[in-house]
Amino acid sequence: GENVEQHPSTLSVQEGDSAVIKCTYSDSASNYFPWYKQELGKRPQLIIDIRSNVGEKKDQRIAVTLNKTAKHFSLHITETQPEDSAVYFCAAVGVNDYKLSFGAGTTVTVRA
Amino acid sequence: EPEVTQTPSHQVTQMGQEVILRCVPISNHLYFYWYRQILGQKVEFLVSFYNNEISEKSEIFDDQFSVERPDGSNFTLKIRSTKLEDSAMYFCASSESGGVTYEQYFGPGTRLTVT
């Protein structure tokens, strides 16, 4: 099955700086890569996703890049704000799959 | 905006007891899922459900577990003879359809504590 690795496990950044989280996946057939944000005590919520026919996608301060050859994808948050503090999970879905295979999560702390 | 709801938010049970976790998916969604997250670990897929039957399950989802859609709105996860290692946050999710086109929306979770 799919195995998703996520790094780093924790990330502390100064407000206004950028944050980058990286994930790798094992199944070359995976073709959908969502990112979820989970604030303390709340449900995971989709913040951005990318499909395998696209190399990069941006939504305001958030961007995701995908390198299919290397089987890795990254989340970039620019101009970080205190409300960006949360746990971020990457995930992958295979072409004939319905389940999300999650990474271990990254706890992001934005220092004011 | 419609949301997935789950009850209870926290369930404490004794080892060996049966528990039923309840979920109400978003009303026009057709695919339903259960995931769990043991404290400090990654979110793990348990089972997906479509058209009143299991479409996929993980190796975690053994005979101890079962799912049911008893009526038009609820989706339940039953855990028989609970063990200490079943303590986790259990998330229900639903999607409009299956596959990579459709976002999975998560419920707020049920924290299960087995003592």
pLDDT tens for each residue of B21-65: 999 999 989 999 999 999 888 899 999 999 999 999 999 999 999
Residue ranges in chain A modelled with pLDDT below 70: none
Closest-CA distance, B13 to chain A, in angstroms, reads 21
Categorise residue A59: left if φ over 0, alpha if ψ from -120 to 50, beta otherwise: beta
Report helix, strand or coil for A29. coil
Residue B101 in this model has a pLDDT that exceeds 70: no
- Tell me the C-alpha distance between B68 and B39, whole Å: 26
Rg of chain A on CA atoms, in Å:
13
Q: Does A106 touch chain B (CB under 8 A)?
A: no
pLDDT-derived band at B103, boundaries 50, 70, 90: confident
Residue B105 in this model has a pLDDT that exceeds 70: yes
Interval B83-96: pLDDT, tens: 999 999 999 999 98
Sign (positive or negative) of CA dihedral B67, B71, B75, B78: negative
**Terminal-residue alpha carbon distance, chain A:** 41
Sign (positive or negative) of CA dihedral A74, A75, A77, A81: negative
| Mean per-residue pLDDT, B97-101 | 68
Q: Do A103 and B42 touch (CB under 8 A)?
A: yes
**Tokens 């746990």, residue?**
A87
What's the pLDDT at A77?
A: 98
What's the pLDDT at A45?
A: 92
Q: Do A102 and B42 touch (CB under 8 A)?
A: yes
Cross-strand partners of A93: A32
A vs B: CB pairs below 8 A: 56
What's the pLDDT at B99?
A: 64
What's the pLDDT at A52?
A: 83
| Mean per-residue pLDDT, B62-80 | 94
What's the pLDDT at B60?
A: 94
